[in-house]
Chain A
């Protein structure tokens, strides 16, 4: 994009250095951790709420949308500028403004890395509970936008349960505070903005709740010959009254990718493992751990590893949390899905997923939060192969159908984004959608923030795939990389 009026306006608002518009620079803001693409027309990196507000006002004046972006590790295309416009990156808004250990609260800017909050409050024996797999790199702003989950959200709840208040910039470019350090009266506006996928506001400050680190944590690796047994065990455990802090499942294909990365001791020949963590007062944790082991034995776990050293525990978790990236060892591309089903239906839905992938001729790796029935099938493919992406998306739709038909939902924690907005009508009626749209209108009459997300529209993130197709057509699939 040439240096147009909007670029000069943005430059004078936040400084030349922090406005990108060279084509090569824009290129690296067209992706996130999904397979979607969308090129922005400009990228800005503001350093204060005032600069965010100024950028929003300028974009509004020029009638182009603004899409907020944290670290770009999202898994539903949330940071992809579907309709071009300005991408607003929060990486410079990365200050931890306040730690109030006595009241177990921290006030942070949106670009702060999730794990850095826990690191900063560690000396007080506190931590920030939601732990998405990308927590070493993802930002709290992105977590707020997508209402991110993570392995330990089974016991402690999602991002929304840990955000007490927000400072936001509205579509009009005003800075507004929602919620606060203590309970506030009136509507829970904070709760509405958390999980709104950047469509209602841009967050410039987050007040988060901190938790005391548990007295005792016991990590258990239960190894099963079959996925079926593992998923039954997950369901039975919770039905039996244990609520582990984390209850994760990894299948054979996932372990094949993870082991060469981390050598954590995941068994290569097992059908599935459950990585379980129980926490609490020492006695309580011990008791839960015994219950967990009993359930696993009953469902014919072939081995149960317990009493792991801190290093072993760290490696097992590094493997679990690096699993997605590790799939790159098996496949050039993968399509990560995010569906939810009632725990009791896990075995049948998983069987359905493996069947569907078989039928369509794709390999799949399942790694997910078994405890809350939040599935993540990863369909492996090679995007250089002509026409394959369409086939994969079709398979994805079928898998989502399986989830919804089992009384589930189309997203557990990654968000709707653009890819799943057409499925919204499967679970919401016209009236439901109208109600949501009216709520959105209450925030702004225009579609200025992250258009093309959440709600079904006729337009798509289309520019991208046509660009990729053109590239493939130009050089042929082999020369493509």
Chain B
């Protein structure tokens, strides 16, 4: 057994002392802008988390409500002059509450679901199959019409396309092998958006990469960490490190921004684990978002074209956690006949935020409606983004507003622009 000595599950004093309350984060926080309440701002939440850590306040239902309203989009982190690691502080605060005596029932339930369904491939397959039936039988359409429940049900991901079930060697390039890469297949992506994986594999192969999906890989643990279940997150991280380092590849490719961000931070997550610390550091440097990887390669400019007006929604964990905003746009601009029109606040959260759309439907829908207004102003027929959660949320937005259009991953558009796919 690896060393499982617990890392501190309270925010560190130095992390908390980093905030000087200048307030420059305020207008970057979707929930502050929406409510005008300091309690729903990064600065306010940090102050509450500090007071919690100091034992000055208790995790009352009120305090937990303010933590729950946080999207963990980390937009505040990207604009913070002082460099406050907000995401890490929030995860550890949630961990402290979850492990404590007064953890709310809803948190424990969520954590059980994430641990026993999302992180277990077999259970997840069954869950996805049931969900698929729910969509196919028309039950979903019925449920979405029930007043009171329908609005919430609309935000659940659709699982209608063909799932992605392959593992092992996925593709070899026609010519010389430029790089050997491993693909993280992840939890939701293969069931909800199998087509994105297929496009990713084709694009990588066309760019001289040999692609494999190591069969023993597990869920990245991002959702677990965000919800404060750091022990499960660490467990999953250790297993992925073993599997991917064992594969001896040049890069670990992730096409889901949330997973990429979490995996790039395995080194932080396992900083207190003497056995895995160094391996985690090595592993984290191998992790690349698909757009980042392609631009660095650099990718072959496609000779085909995609006739469409496209707007790009920055996925929060790509733009704010990984600070990647230009690579996806560079890919889109390389495609002939494609017009990229920027929306207002493209890096503002769409309200998906992992399980947030299900746990906080009211705020999620408010943010989604704002987002759809910004999208509609661009007159774009295609919304491109970089994360399955965002894709699913934006699809819900189109359905909710009865708007025509299509939601795709950036890599799908590049795939379409390569001839003979």
**Contact, CB under 8 Å: B82 / A325:** yes
Of all chain B residues, the one with the shortest Cβ separation from A481 is B13
- Neighbour of A322 across the interface among B16, B24, B50, B53, CB < 8 A: B24
Contacts of B25 in A (CB 8 A): 137
**Contact, CB under 8 Å: A481 / B26:** no
Contacts of B82 in A (CB 8 A): 261, 325-329
**Contact, CB under 8 Å: A136 / B24:** yes
Is B17 engaged at the interface, CB distance under 8 Å to the other chain?
yes
Of all chain B residues, the one with the shortest Cβ separation from A474 is B55
What is the CB-to-nearest-CB distance from B177 to chain A, in angstroms, rounded to a whole number?
36
Is B130 engaged at the interface, CB distance under 8 Å to the other chain?
no
- Neighbour of B22 across the interface among A24, A33, A384, A481, CB < 8 A: A33
Is A445 engaged at the interface, CB distance under 8 Å to the other chain?
no
Of all chain B residues, the one with the shortest Cβ separation from A323 is B81
- Interface of chain B residues 80 through 139 with chain A (CB within 8 A): 80-84
Contacts of B48 in A (CB 8 A): 24, 27-28
Is A25 engaged at the interface, CB distance under 8 Å to the other chain?
yes
Is A213 engaged at the interface, CB distance under 8 Å to the other chain?
no
Contacts of B55 in A (CB 8 A): 474-475
Chain-B contact segment, one of A87-95, A230-238, A298-306, A369-377: A87-95
- Neighbour of B84 across the interface among A31, A111, A328, A382, CB < 8 A: A328
Q: Mark B29-43, 1 if CB is under 8 A from A, else 0.
A: 000000011110101
Chain-A contact segment, one of B57-65, B204-212, B220-228, B297-305: B57-65
Is A71 engaged at the interface, CB distance under 8 Å to the other chain?
yes
Nearest first, the 7 A-B pairs at minimum CB distance are: A328-B82, A91-B36, A325-B81, A322-B81, A325-B22, A481-B13, A332-B17
Known: A28-B48, A91-B36, A325-B80. A480 touches B23 (CB 8 A): no
A27-B48, A32-B23 known; 12 other A-B pairs, CB under 8 Å?
A: A24-B62, A28-B38, A72-B23, A89-B38, A134-B23, A261-B81, A262-B81, A327-B82, A328-B83, A329-B81, A329-B83, A481-B16
- Interface of chain A residues 1 through 51 with chain B (CB within 8 A): 20, 22-25, 27-29, 31-33, 45
Contacts of B173 in A (CB 8 A): none
- Neighbour of A134 across the interface among B14, B24, B66, CB < 8 A: B24
Interface centre among A23, A113, A138, A474 (most CB of B within 10 A): A23
- Interface of chain A residues 131 through 154 with chain B (CB within 8 A): 134, 136-138
**Contact, CB under 8 Å: A328 / B19:** yes
Is A386 engaged at the interface, CB distance under 8 Å to the other chain?
no
Is A344 engaged at the interface, CB distance under 8 Å to the other chain?
no
**Contact, CB under 8 Å: B47 / A27:** yes
Contacts of A384 in B (CB 8 A): 17
Q: List 18 A-B contacts (CB under 8 A).
A: A20-B39, A24-B48, A24-B60, A24-B62, A25-B62, A28-B39, A33-B23, A71-B23, A72-B43, A73-B23, A322-B24, A322-B81, A324-B81, A325-B20, A326-B81, A328-B81, A478-B13, A480-B13
**Contact, CB under 8 Å: A27 / B18:** no
- Neighbour of A481 across the interface among B17, B44, B81, CB < 8 A: B17
Is B27 engaged at the interface, CB distance under 8 Å to the other chain?
yes
What is the CB-to-nearest-CB distance from A59 to chain B, in angstroms, rounded to a whole number?
20
Q: How large is the interface on A (under 10, 10 to 19, 20 to 34, 35 or more residues)?
A: 35 or more
Known: A72-B38, A323-B81. A113 touches B27 (CB 8 A): yes
**Contact, CB under 8 Å: A324 / B17:** no
Contacts of B24 in A (CB 8 A): 73, 134, 136-137, 322, 325
Is A120 engaged at the interface, CB distance under 8 Å to the other chain?
no
Is A460 engaged at the interface, CB distance under 8 Å to the other chain?
no
Known: A261-B81, A261-B83, A324-B20. A481 touches B38 (CB 8 A): no
Contacts of A261 in B (CB 8 A): 81-83
Of all chain A residues, the one with the shortest Cβ separation from B57 is A24
**Contact, CB under 8 Å: B47 / A28:** yes
- Neighbour of B26 across the interface among A71, A92, A324, A328, CB < 8 A: A71
Contacts of B36 in A (CB 8 A): 45, 89, 91-92, 94, 111
With the chains together, A23 CA to B17 CA distance in Å? 22
What is the CB-to-nearest-CB distance from A137 to chain B, in angstroms, rounded to a whole number?
4
Known: A25-B39, A45-B37, A91-B36. A32 touches B21 (CB 8 A): yes
Known: A28-B38, A329-B83. A33 touches B51 (CB 8 A): no
With the chains together, A24 CA to B66 CA distance in Å? 10
Contacts of B62 in A (CB 8 A): 22, 24-25
What is the CB-to-nearest-CB distance from A356 to chain B, in angstroms, rounded to a whole number?
22
- Interface of chain A residues 423 through 481 with chain B (CB within 8 A): 471, 474-475, 478-481
**Contact, CB under 8 Å: A27 / B51:** yes
Is B296 engaged at the interface, CB distance under 8 Å to the other chain?
no
Of all chain B residues, the one with the shortest Cβ separation from A319 is B81
**Contact, CB under 8 Å: B50 / A481:** yes
Is A333 engaged at the interface, CB distance under 8 Å to the other chain?
yes
Contacts of B14 in A (CB 8 A): 481
Of all chain B residues, the one with the shortest Cβ separation from A26 is B39
- Interface of chain A residues 328 through 351 with chain B (CB within 8 A): 328-329, 332-334
Contacts of B22 in A (CB 8 A): 33, 73, 134, 324-325, 328
Of all chain B residues, the one with the shortest Cβ separation from A327 is B20
Is A260 engaged at the interface, CB distance under 8 Å to the other chain?
yes
What is the CB-to-nearest-CB distance from A49 to chain B, in angstroms, rounded to a whole number?
16
With the chains together, A262 CA to B83 CA distance in Å? 10
Q: Mark B187-215, 1 if CB is under 8 A from A, else 0.
A: 00000000000000000000000000000
Of all chain A residues, the one with the shortest Cβ separation from B19 is A328
Interface centre among B13, B44, B51, B81 (most CB of A within 10 A): B81
